[in-house]
Each structure stands twice: as C-alpha cells, then as structure tokens.
A and B are shown apart, each in its own frame.
Chain A
Amino acid sequence: MSELLEILDMPFFRRALVAAALIGFTNGFVSGFVLLRRSSLTLSALCHTMLPGIVVVVLITGALTQAGAFMGALLAALIVGLGSVAITRNTRLPQSTALAIFFTTAFALGVLLLQYVHTSQNLEDWLFGSILSVSDDDLKVFFAIACFTLLSATLFMRPLLLTLFEPNVAAVQGVGVRWMNYLLYALMIFALMASFQAVGPILSIGLLVVPGAIVSLFTNHTRWLFWGGGVVGCVSAILAVIISIPLNIPTGPAIVLVLGSLFILAYFCSPNYSPFKKSQIN
C-alpha cells in the first residue's frame, strides 16, 4: 500500500493521470459522433492499417520517432481508405468488403515486416501505448486537442447533428454538409492521435467506440452521448492507470479492458436493454 502511495507521488505518474483524463475525455466525447455516424467498423479497419505504416517507417528510417510513426500511420490509413473508396466506385463490392480486404492485407504485411525490425526502442510501446512515459509537451498537445474538440463540437453541434441524421435534408436547410463531414473526420483523427500514446494504434479504437456505446444504453438524449461519453472515457482511463500499477499490467490494454468490462456491466444493468428485465415494448 505504501508502495502505491509512493508511486502516486511520482511526477511521471501524475503526468500519466492527467494524460489519461484528457485522452479519455476527448475520445469519449468523440465516440458519440462515431456511434451516430456508424463508422466504428471503418475506423477499426483504419487503426489496424497503422501497424504496417509504423513498421515501414521504422524500416526506412531505422529509428522510431513520434513524428515518424504518426506520419507512417496516417499515410497507411490514407492509402487503405482511399484505395477502398476507389475499389467501391469501380466495382459492385460494398465498401466494407473492400476495406476488409485492404486492411487485413496491410496488417498481414505489417506482421510479416515486424521480424525485420531491429530497433533499440521498444516497438511494443508504440503498438500498445505507453502512457507512463508521456512528457510535459505531450500533455500540452493532449490539452490542445481536448480544447479543439470541445470548442468546435459545441459551436457546431446543431449542424453536425443535422448532417449525421439526414445529410440531404440538412443540405437543403442550408447546412454546409461537406464542411461538417470534414470536421467530423478531423475530430476523429485528432482523438485517435491522442489515444496513440495511451493505448497505441491498434487498441485506440476501443477508446473511440466504447464510451458512447455505454452511455447510449442509458439515455435517449443525443447530447448525453457526448458529455456522458467524455465522463465515462475519462473516469475509465484514470481508473485503468491506477489499477495497472499494483497489478503490474500494461496500461494500454488495461484501459480497453476496463472499458470493455464496463460495457458488459452496463448492458446487464441497462434499464432499456438488460436481458434480465422483461421487455416492456411488447
């Protein structure tokens, strides 16, 4: 116990807690949009393609830097995303199929290339997050991302919701649908960027999907998805960081495991959907 208190006092641990709070909140907030946009599957596909992106950059440059890894990940996601769009346009294949083909191929390539990587730095940290090693500069970035998310989402909440609900009607009503879609992309990409550090590219989709899903089991109000999701993401991330120390487990997987467990718990407790309660609809 005294050991735990000692750790709690260490600067690296406080930084980790602040980072968890900021990243958890940002991702939880944006998860409401991901849910309404029904883009969980697309995003998880794109997250998986970040592995080969990072590995290729490491192979080319011989070193693992934050900027390099991010560029590689982004480039890989872009190639796979645009590639699947191109295939969908020119064939009868649905986009989910095209995406599945591209991202599994890319992921397989990444796994294959992984054995050629000899880097002094720990690649595992990059793949599964290392929130315990965030710097003060990282914290500033997370804070900026959180501010941007809150500010832009609050300012444009109305047109964003109209776009998500029915883009054609929104456009006729004078909503700049194209700009709102760009904003949604930006929000999701920034959120992913933040969770890179916390849980790594592959698990980051968990932070970006689960909080909103948990809240949606309890509310019928659209706006609650965002604020509730933010709170759930924030609290879960902090909790995961705290319990990961005495249990001696890596924090990235711990965050996603906490969220997953919370979701299952929420499902059984939900007043509307719980399998233990008799449905009132019929």
Chain B
Amino acid sequence: MSKCSHSHTQGQTHELIIKNLEVAYRKNTVLEGINLHAHCGTSLALVGPNGAGKSTLLKAIAGLVKQSQGDITWSGENNVRTRGGEFAYLPQHEEVNWDFPITVRGVVEMGRYSQLGPWRRFSKKDDLAVERALALMEMDGELANRQISELSGGQKQRAFIARAVAQEAHVLLLDEPFTGLDRDHTANLTRLLRKLAQENSLVIASHHDIHTLADIFDDVMLLNKRVIACGECQSTLSEENLRLTFSNMANV
C-alpha cells in the first residue's frame, strides 16, 4: 500500500526538513526561526492563535511565499519545481473563482494535473483515482455532477479535499481542512487523514480544535510566529505550552 516504498530503500523514509525559516511580508515578520523534522507516514497539526503564521508556514512549504531566510528541503531536494507532483495543497477558499462553470468532478479531475501535465490523456488509472477521491469524501453520485457554485460551504470544502486526495500526493498541506464540515463528515475526514498517514503520506494541517487534536494527528506544532513546542500530541499539549502559545505576550 505504501506509496513511497518504491523509491527508497527499506526502513528509510522521506523527510521534510525546515531549517531556521523566516518569512516577512514587507516589514512584518510573520514567521521566524522555524525548525522542523517531519517524515512521511506521520501527521502533524499546526496550532496557534489567529495570525500565528499557520497558513504562511503551509504556503512556505508549498513554495508559494518568498522566504527571507532559511531552508526547506523535501527528501534532500529544495527546488520547488521538482516538488511538483509530490505536494498537494488545500488553501482557504478566498482565492477560488466560484463563478467558474465547472462540476465537482471537473474540480477533482484537476487534481490529476500533477500526473498528466498539459497534454497526456486521462487513463483508467486517473479515472479510478478521481472516483476513489469522490467516494472518500462522499461527493460521488449526483453531487459529483453539480456545479461548484451550487454547493454548500461544507460540500465545497469536501470537493476541494477530494481534489487534493485525487492528486495522490506524497505530502498533503491542508489549511483548516475541517472548516464547515458537519459531525459525520468530520469523523469521515478524521479517518481519512489517519489512513493517509498510515499509507505513508505526510499530512500537515492547520487546526483549531485542541480537544480533537490527539484523535486526528500524531504530532503537533504549537506556533506563534516561532515554534513554541513541537512533538507528540500528548506530551506537547501541556497547559504551560498552550498558555505560552495563546498568550498575547508572544504577539508583540
């Protein structure tokens, strides 16, 4: 089942390594001194108050923001272009063009661009990946043929998660993936994220509900411009660490 077993020797894993990352928008430093070691087969939650830099960190890993300092490497490679097919990114949805005339299936099919590039035709394998992703997010059947503009907020979110899943990427960067989901679909996504990590993906997601953290993720990074603490959920989520993360002091 493991997706990356082909490309590395036994026992070895792919690693995402962030060294001393700093990101600034104009003169505002958004992230500084970020260090991270994460390997495939695990899931990591990014937790912190508003403006802590969770989304920015995800974008930095995805290669979407300029870093003013530091290094991000994935399995020894720091060229963003070569990461092409390996990373899937779920943004928060302000930037999506909702007027686009496209069905849910069309959106999910877009996820296969990483494999197909501009010219290759859809194969059986691609169709299967799309169907599987739709089914996993319970967007198959009638819903799959709906226009995206006709979906509810939660359905939109599920369509976009399905798109990221259809990509069959090695690393999933998800910005608040649980936004807008009802109870059943939250449980469903929890199972899916667990499964993806078991199947050797690396899942990194920003998340705001501290109570459900440990059910979903292996590790957690407490973030407030810099890393307050990072490690296994149980030991990292101490009262002291949470106070440090969410106190206003760190915002200065």
Footprint of B on A, CB under 8 Å?
Answer: 36, 38, 155-159, 161-162, 164-175, 216, 219-222, 225, 281
Docked CA distance A281–B152 (Å)? 13
Q: Contact between B91 and A225 (Cβ–Cβ < 8 Å)?
A: no
List the A side residues contacting B90 at CB < 8 Å.
169
List B contacts of A155 (CB < 8 A).
Answer: 118-119
In the assembled complex, 9 residue pairs joining A and B whose CB atoms fall closer than 8 Å, in A order, are: A165-B97, A165-B102, A167-B95, A170-B113, A171-B62, A172-B87, A174-B81, A216-B101, A222-B101
Q: Is the CB of A219 within 8 A of B113?
A: no
Chain B residues near A174: list those with CB within 8 A: 81, 84-85, 113-114, 117
Query: How would you classify the secondary structure of chain B's contact residues: helix, strand, loop or mixed?
Result: mixed
Cα–Cα distance between A29 and B139 once the two chains are bound (Å): 32
Having A171-B62, A171-B63, A222-B102, one finds 14 other A-B pairs with CB under 8 Å, namely A36-B97, A158-B118, A158-B119, A162-B110, A166-B96, A168-B62, A168-B91, A169-B163, A172-B62, A172-B88, A173-B111, A174-B113, A174-B114, A220-B147
Interchain CB contact under 8 A, B84 and A38: no
| Given A168-B64, A172-B62, also A220-B88 (CB < 8 A) | no
Closest to B96 in A: A166
Residue from A38, A220, A281 in contact with B97 in the complex, judged by beta carbons closer than 8 Å: A38
Say whether B100 contacts A164, CB under 8 Å. yes
Cβ of A178 to closest chain B Cβ, rounded Å: 12
Residues 3-38 of chain B: 1 if any A CB is under 8 Å from the residue's CB, otherwise 0? Answer: 000000000000000000000000000000000000
Residues of A within 8 A of B167 (CB): 173
Find A38's partner among B95, B99, B106, B111 (CB 8 Å cutoff).
B99
**A172 contacts across to B, CB distance below 8 A:** 62-64, 83, 87-89, 173
Q: Which residues of B contact A38 (CB under 8 A)?
A: 97, 99
User: Interface residues of B toward A: which range?
Assistant: 35 or more
Neighbour of A173 across the interface among B96, B101, B114, B150, CB < 8 A = B114
**Minimum distance in angstroms from A223 CB to a CB of chain B:** 10
Contact of A156 among B89, B95, B118 (CB under 8 A): B118
A173 to B119, CA, bound (A): 15
Interface string of B147-171 (1 = CB under 8 A from A): 1001000000000000100010000
B81, B88, B100, B119, most chain A CB atoms within 10 A: B100
Contact B101 A165 (CB under 8 A): no
Main secondary structure of the interface of A (DSSP, over half): helix
**Residue on A nearest B120 in the bound complex, by CB:** A158
Name the residue on B nearest A172 (C-beta): B89
Q: Do B97 and A159 touch across chains, with their CB atoms under 8 A apart?
A: no
Q: A156-B118, A168-B59, A168-B95 are in contact. Are A173 and B84 (CB under 8 A)?
A: yes
Q: Are A168 and B101 in contact (CB under 8 A)?
A: no
Residue of A nearest to B112 (CB): A173
Name the residue of chain A whose CB is nearest to the CB of B64: A168
Contact A158 B101, CB 8 Å, known A169-B91, A172-B87, A172-B89:
no
Given the interface contacts A173-B167, A174-B114, does A225 sit within 8 Å of B88 by beta carbon? Answer: no
Q: Kindly state whether residue B103 has any CB partner on chain A within 8 Å.
A: yes
Q: Which residues of B contact A157 (CB under 8 A)?
A: 118
User: Closest 9 interchain pairs by CB?
Assistant: A174-B84, A172-B89, A172-B62, A173-B114, A158-B118, A220-B101, A173-B113, A166-B96, A159-B118
Question: What's the minimum C-beta distance from B233 to chain A, rounded to whole angstroms?
Answer: 27
| B59 and A175 contact, CB distance less than 8 A | no
Shortest CB–CB separation between residue B120 and chain A, in angstroms? 10
Chain B residues positioned under 8 Å from A216 (CB to CB): 101
The docked-state distance in angstroms from the alpha carbon of A36 to that of B97 is 8
- The chain B residue with its CB closest to the CB of A174 is B84
Q: How far is the CA of A175 from the CA of B119 in the complex (A)?
A: 12
